Structure 1
Amino acid sequence: MAPSQASYAPSLDNLIKSFNSQPLEASIESLIFLLKRRQVKGDECARATAHILRQVVAKSKWHDVDQLLSRVQSAGSRLVRAAPLEPVIGNIVRRVLGLIRDEASEDRNNADDVTSEAASDIQTLGPSAPPPLPRPVPVPIRPGPSAISAGMQVSKSMFNLLSVADPGDSPATGASTPLSQAQPASVHALRSEVMDGIEEILDEINQADDQIAGFSDIQIHPGDYVLAYQPTRSVERFLVKAASKRRFTVIIACLDSPNSGAAEPPYATLRKKLNTAGVNTINLVSNGLMAYIPRVNKVIFGAKAVYQNGGLLVDSGCCIAAQAAHEHLKPVIVLCPVYKFCPEDPSDEVSRGELGTPSSYVSYANGPGVDALEVENTVTDYIPPELVDVYLTNLGPQTRHHLASILADHYKTEDIGFSLQLGEP
């Protein structure tokens, strides 16, 4: 259900500020409303998801780890269904689920250590320990025959129970996790630890672009001709950081949209920053790309997601630049933070690309002409892994062969298909 004031859609920053003052369900519905209207997209989805899951941990009622995992999975699945073409939402949900499992396992190990230490202290007392107090001797009462047979059955069943049961076993649930029978003090400590862990994820999201930009002087050399196809925010910071230490030429390529009606040319702010730093810029539309590719030293663009096989979800047109660079043996560098690494293979929908409105290219004022045409405007493209040379992340440059280790370090196997664990609403 959409918010009561459907005509007013708050910005993401205002929505995040309102999370602390409104109920949890209202916060989730407000974010879903913005996701469906595509008013929150791209990198903003990661930040919004982390904030809302922090509210789920803080405000929802749960008494053990299994309940907490269920609450996070439920809220995360709703967000994924609201924006199925934003894989970064599922990535953040998986990161939080893995964080909960790690914190619960750590608390369980600490509790086991304390128990083992207490047992060792008792054993070390030895003969010096004071003798136990004498227990009162019960008065013998002769039981009847039925009581004797019942007592034998109880003793036998208790013996079987103790001989089979393992006090360290977790309950047999769908998400078996340590500390499922946690005490209130442990629940309070786990809540605090998970919230601190989500804050660290938020710091990673906010600092990722600056950390990637720190590798710019290694990737860009003096005198290079760099082709930046539809530069994202990460690419812009990367180029501006490199311009502070290098002198090179940037070719800014973008799609030609004759009916966009923009007040200023695209990427005018980026060109101004680069020119101020002494870096030359060349404006280029995509249909003139092949004429400049032989002169280019490397191609750089940002990615919306990196899939398990190394394929990329990118803005429309980047695939053309990657194919042209591959034909002319030019390296392709993709800027992508680790939180955009998706532990899944791309779906058929991702491979086909997302379709947007064609009104930027075909005017609906030409009624007869529009009726006779079927125009498709692809918003996203899929780039196969063989067209990519370097994945530049906030952890440094990576190759396709190292992606599996990065995914294993950041995601739990049991959380990869979390969105399939709950049925459709």
Structure 2
Amino acid sequence: MAPSQASHTPSLATWTKSLRDQSLEASIESLIFLLKRRQVTGDECAGAIAQLLRQVVAKSKWHDVDQLLYRVQTAGARLARAAPHEPVIGNIPRPEPASSPTTSPSPARTLTSGLQVSKSMFNLLSVADPSESPVTGASTPISQAQQPFSVHALRSEVMDGIEEILDEINQADDQIASFAEIQIHPGDYVLAYQPSKTVERFLVKAASKRRFTVILASLNPPAPGEEEQPYAALRKKLNAAGVSTINLASNGLMAYIPRVNKVIFGAKAVYQNGGLLVDSGACIAAQAAHEYLKPVIALCGVYKFCPEDPSDEVSRGELGNPSSYVSYADGPELDSFEVENTTTDYIPPDLVDVYLTNLGPQTRHHLGGIYADHYKIEDIGFSLQVGE
């Protein structure tokens, strides 16, 4: 169901402002609408999902942990199906081990952490109800008058936990940028492929401490007649800090790779095997860097770590509209061949040297510890198991 025609033009900003006044179902449908139209993509997805799940906890009717888990799970599944090309959506409602010391809890993990029991969510379902002791799980008599207070306390604690998630998501880019001085050295030539907001913040932070050169590689060169070069705002910030910039179309990558010291790009997702989901063309840059023994650094918040291996569809890349490369006005000439425009690439783990997260730099061999801190094996499919 699309938003009412009488409402303002749908956008993430207007959706966020409407959360308090809209019904829960209207908020879910509106976000699904934005996800399907790809008006909410990339890094925006994680924050939007966390805000929506906060509304699920606050507005939905539930009387015990089982019911709340089901509400979170159902909403997460609906949103994940609305945008299967955004794997980060499924990460937010998935539960985490209650004993994880390195990260804020997911909404699902928040349901268990208040009980002070180091168990996964599904294991906890058999003991987590208001009539049981929060420490031992032993049955304790409780009156009907006491039960609403228990639900209210749990609701408040889960809401506080979701606020922690939002803080972690909002702070991730700044935390990643804090490692820029370690990764970039004076005089470096850094190739940044289609820099995301995370990469931009990282480069600007480095520019406040270092003098180096940034090669901004873009998949598409500026169209004929366009005055503004790609990433003009980023170039202006870097130039103002004394950092030189070079604009480069992706077809010129091989000419510059021997000169660069490292290749940096933002990852849309990090899979369990260490492979990356990235913007189309980034795999070519990673392959070229690998051939010339240049380090490849992927920037990504820990909330983008997906506890599953990439599917065949991910490995092949997502297909987009090819009309920017061929004109359908050419008519008959197009009948003799097919044109595929991939909008995402998959980079295998052997092409990545450093995963720079908000927890610091990681190598592929240390990713297992991050996944162990964030997910239980039996909970991996949590957000995708419930139907509409």
Shift of 1:419: 3.7
Q: Which residue of 2 aligns with 1:178?
A: 128
**Aligned with 2:264: secondary structure?**
strand
Q: Which residue of 2 aligns with 1:214?
A: 178
Q: Which residue of 2 aligns with 1:323?
A: 287
More deviation in 239-248 or 401-410?
401-410
State yes or no: 1:289 paired with 2:239.
no
Please give the residue correspondences for 1:146-157 in structure 2 after superposition, counting only pairs within 5 Å. Answer: none
Q: Which residue of 1 aligns with 2:154?
A: 190
Contiguous gaps of at least 5 residues in structure 2: 95-105, 133-146
Shift of 1:420: 4.2
State yes or no: 1:250 paired with 2:214.
yes
Q: For residues 58 and 359 of structure 1, what CA distance do their matches in structure 2 show?
A: 44
TM-score by length of 2: 0.88
Answer yes or no: is the 8 Å Cα contact 1:257–1:360 preserved in 2: no
Q: For residues 87 and 126 of structure 2, what CA distance do their matches in structure 1 show?
A: 26
Q: For residues 351 and 235 of structure 1, what CA distance do their matches in structure 2 show?
A: 23
Shift of 1:91: 0.5
Q: 1:260 to 1:386 in 2, by over 3 A?
A: farther
Shift of 1:174: 9.8
State yes or no: 1:56 paired with 2:6.
no
- Letter of the 1:4 partner, please give it: S
**Aligned with 1:20: secondary structure?**
coil
- Letter of the 2:371 partner, please give it: L
Q: Which residue of 2 aligns with 1:81?
A: 81
Answer yes or no: is the 8 Å Cα contact 2:90–2:384 preserved in 1: no
Answer yes or no: is the 8 Å Cα contact 1:98–1:411 preserved in 2: no
- Letter of the 2:352 partner, please give it: V
Q: Which residue of 2 aligns with 1:125?
A: none
Shift of 1:380: 0.2
Q: Report Cα offsets for 1:18-67 as digits up to 9, x if no partner.
A: 01001000000000000001110001110110000000000001011010
Q: For residues 44 and 402 of structure 1, what CA distance do their matches in structure 2 show?
A: 27
Contiguous gaps of at least 5 residues in structure 1: 110-171
- Letter of the 1:214 partner, please give it: S
Greater than 6 Å deviation, 4+ residue runs: none
Number of aligned residue pairs = 360
Q: For residues 176 and 380 of structure 1, what CA distance do their matches in structure 2 show?
A: 42
Which structure has more relative contact order (CA 8 Å, sep 6+)? It is: 2
Q: For residues 30 and 215 of structure 1, what CA distance do their matches in structure 2 show?
A: 37
State yes or no: 1:224 paired with 2:207.
no
- Letter of the 2:282 partner, please give it: C
Q: Which residue of 2 aligns with 1:2?
A: 2
Please give the residue correspondences for 1:308-347 in structure 2 after superposition, counting only pairs within 5 Å. Answer: 308-347=272-311
Shift of 1:390: 0.4
Answer yes or no: is the 8 Å Cα contact 1:228–1:252 preserved in 2: yes
Q: Report Cα offsets for 1:138-176 as digits up to 9, x if no partner.
A: xxxxxxxxxxxxxxxxxxxxxxxxxxxxxxxxxx99943
State yes or no: 1:413 paired with 2:385.
no
Q: Which residue of 1 aligns with 2:16?
A: 16
- Letter of the 2:73 partner, please give it: Q
Shift of 1:412: 3.2
RMSD, aligned CA: 2.0
Shift of 1:263: 5.6
Answer yes or no: is the 8 Å Cα contact 1:307–1:342 preserved in 2: yes
**Aligned with 1:365: secondary structure?**
helix
Q: 1:67 to 1:347 in 2, by over 3 A?
A: same
Q: Which residue of 2 aligns with 1:379?
A: 343
Q: 1:340 to 1:395 in 2, by over 3 A?
A: same
Shift of 1:245: 0.5
Shift of 1:257: 5.0
Q: For residues 108 and 52 of structure 2, what CA distance do their matches in structure 1 show?
A: 14
Shift of 1:336: 0.4
Answer yes or no: is the 8 Å Cα contact 2:263–2:289 preserved in 1: yes
Q: For residues 81 and 6 of structure 2, what CA distance do their matches in structure 1 show?
A: 20
Q: Report Cα offsets for 1:56-85 as digits up to 9, x if no partner.
A: 000001011010000000000000000011
Q: Which residue of 2 aligns with 1:100?
A: 111
Please give the residue correspondences for 1:120-135 in structure 2 after superposition, counting only pairs within 5 Å. Answer: none
**Aligned with 1:21: secondary structure?**
coil
Shift of 1:283: 1.0
Q: For residues 178 and 412 of structure 1, what CA distance do their matches in structure 2 show?
A: 18
Answer yes or no: is the 8 Å Cα contact 2:80–2:384 preserved in 1: no
TM-score by length of 1: 0.81
**Aligned with 1:35: secondary structure?**
helix
Q: Report Cα offsets for 1:74-119 as digits up to 9, x if no partner.
A: 000000000011011101111221221222x22x79xxxxxxxxxx
Shift of 1:7: 9.0
- Letter of the 2:342 partner, please give it: T
- Tell me which protein shows more helix as a share of its residues: 1
Q: For residues 373 and 268 of structure 2, what CA distance do their matches in structure 1 show?
A: 20
**Aligned with 1:294: secondary structure?**
coil
Answer yes or no: is the 8 Å Cα contact 2:57–2:158 preserved in 1: yes
Q: For residues 16 and 178 of structure 2, what CA distance do their matches in structure 1 show?
A: 29
Q: Which residue of 2 aligns with 1:70?
A: 70
Q: For residues 382 and 125 of structure 2, what CA distance do their matches in structure 1 show?
A: 11
